[in-house]
């Protein structure tokens, strides 16, 4: 079952053949590339989903390019710090960015002074993968489904805490949508990454969180936490038995996380094309598909143009949600 609705799924209709069809616009690089190590920036901490995906790709990419690809974690501010760092790097092909949708599509709608402009400071290489979120609560929570969670929140207005990986992230906006639609109020507690959130859910320090399943589900399967819902419109084949938010009284509720590769704007055409081809080939490997499925991610290689189009339409969609909810961070 696709993670995105049919209309939005069309944005992700990339194939290995399409991945080489885009026309690049930056000048070609002078001399052989690469001739030394490449830095892959991850704007989230070690153990986070983008970090795990980055390391999964870095090793085969190193072999493909015959140079080390070194993952560098630069977390903070919901991914904005590391994303800004990568956007200011020299566009010579030796810095690439593995990031998520938050810093690329929602942060610009929430922050006036990000320090980077996604559309002009970063150039898309390829979409990497997509995953729904899951609403997770402590195992001893009285809430066994979304309706009971909403009832609990209504009985204790403002008393329940939920974890996010930063304001403007999908973990924040998904809960903001639920608060708006259900008429409840919770307190947001920002964390540096999802591993820290699930630890706090298990301990009972916070009462809920919309999380990437790759971090949440091992703890759910170990009976240390409970998953109430998945945020795809249709039930996920990767998450059998977990009902959707839409099926529990919130029609149209959808929040999908995606990870993607970018480079500083102005990176030469031939480097961008080679990176796109190499990463697309890696994402098509059966062993990588299997590893991504274990993280509840669906590989989704794309052309740069398709990723740019997805980011544009997601920015518009979430911008409307942010405006409707009157959210702002400065």
Mean pLDDT of 182-193: 94
Q: How far apart are CA 94 and CA 289, in angstroms?
A: 26
Write down the mean pLDDT value for the chain. Answer: 90
Axis crossing angle, helix 269-283 with helix 49-65, rounded to the nearest 10: 110
Confidence class for position 6, pLDDT limits 50, 70, 90: very low
Mean pLDDT of 301-315: 96
C-beta of residue 96 within 8 angstroms of C-beta of residue 38: yes
Q: What is the pLDDT of residues 62-83, one digit of tens each?
A: 999 999 999 999 998 889 999 9
Q: Does pTM surpass 0.85?
A: no
Mean pLDDT of 194-214: 96
Say yes or no to pLDDT of 125 above 90: yes
Residue boundaries of the structural domains of the chain: 6-131+258-325, 134-248
Say yes or no to pLDDT of 186 above 90: yes
Cα within 13 Å of Cα(6), Cβ side:
0
CATH class of 6-131+258-325: alpha beta
Q: What is the pLDDT of residue 23?
A: 43
User: Which residue stretches of 43-89 are H helix?
Assistant: 49-65, 80-87
Q: How far apart are CA 56 and CA 246, in angstroms?
A: 32
Q: What is the pLDDT of residues 216-250, one digit of tens each?
A: 999 999 999 999 999 999 999 999 999 999 999 99
Confidence class for position 291, pLDDT limits 50, 70, 90: very high
Cα within 13 Å of Cα(144), Cβ side:
0
**Residue 40 belongs to what H/E stretch?**
strand 38-42
Alpha carbon distances (Å) from 292 to 201, 239, 240 = 24, 13, 16
Q: What is the pLDDT of residue 112?
A: 84
Q: What is the pLDDT of residue 2?
A: 46
- Provide the 3-class DSSP secondary structure of residue 236: coil
Say yes or no to pLDDT of 38 above 80: yes
- Provide the 3-class DSSP secondary structure of residue 111: coil
6-131+258-325 and 134-248 have identical folds: yes
Instruction: Look up the CATH number of domain 134-248.
Output: 3.40.190.10
Neighbours of 154 (CB within 10 A): 12
């Amino acid at each position: 079952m696709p993670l995105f609705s049919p209309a939005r799924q069309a944005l992700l209709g990339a194939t290995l053949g399409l991945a080489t069809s885009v026309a690049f616009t930056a000048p070609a690089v002078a001399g052989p590339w690469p001739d030394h190590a490449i830095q892959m920036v991850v704007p989230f901490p070690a153990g986070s989903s983008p970090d795990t995906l980055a390391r999964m790709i870095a090793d085969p990419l190193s072999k493909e390019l015959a140079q080390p690809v070194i993952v560098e974690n630069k977390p903070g501010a919901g991914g904005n710090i590391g994303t800004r760092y990568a956007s200011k790097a020299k566009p010579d092909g030796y810095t690439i960015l593995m990031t998520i949708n938050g810093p690329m599509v929602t942060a610009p709608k929430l922050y006036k002074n990000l320090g980077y402009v996604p559309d002009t400071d970063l150039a898309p290489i390829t979409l990497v993968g997509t995953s729904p979120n899951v609403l997770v609560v402590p195992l001893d929570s009285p809430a066994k489904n979304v309706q009971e969670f909403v009832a609990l929140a209504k009985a204790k207005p403002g008393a329940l805490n939920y974890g996010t990986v930063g304001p403007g992230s999908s973990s924040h906006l998904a809960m903001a949508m639920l608060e708006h639609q259900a008429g409840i109020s919770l307190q947001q507690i920002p964390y540096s990454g999802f591993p820290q959130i699930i630890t706090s859910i298990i301990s009972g320090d916070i009462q809920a969180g919309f999380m990437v399943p790759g971090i949440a589900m091992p703890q759910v399967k170990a009976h240390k936490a409970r998953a109430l819902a998945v945020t795809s419109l249709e039930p996920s084949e990767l998450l059998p038995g977990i009902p959707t938010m839409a099926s529990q009284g919130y029609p149209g509720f959808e929040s999908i996380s995606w990870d993607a590769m970018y480079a500083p704007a102005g990176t030469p055409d031939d480097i961008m094309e080679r990176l796109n081809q190499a990463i697309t080939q890696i994402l098509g490997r059966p062993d990588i598909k299997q590893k991504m499925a274990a993280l509840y991610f669906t590989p989704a290689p794309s052309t740069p143009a398709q990723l740019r189009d997805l980011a544009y339409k997601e920015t518009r969609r979430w911008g409307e949600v942010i405006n409707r909810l009157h959210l702002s961070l400065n």
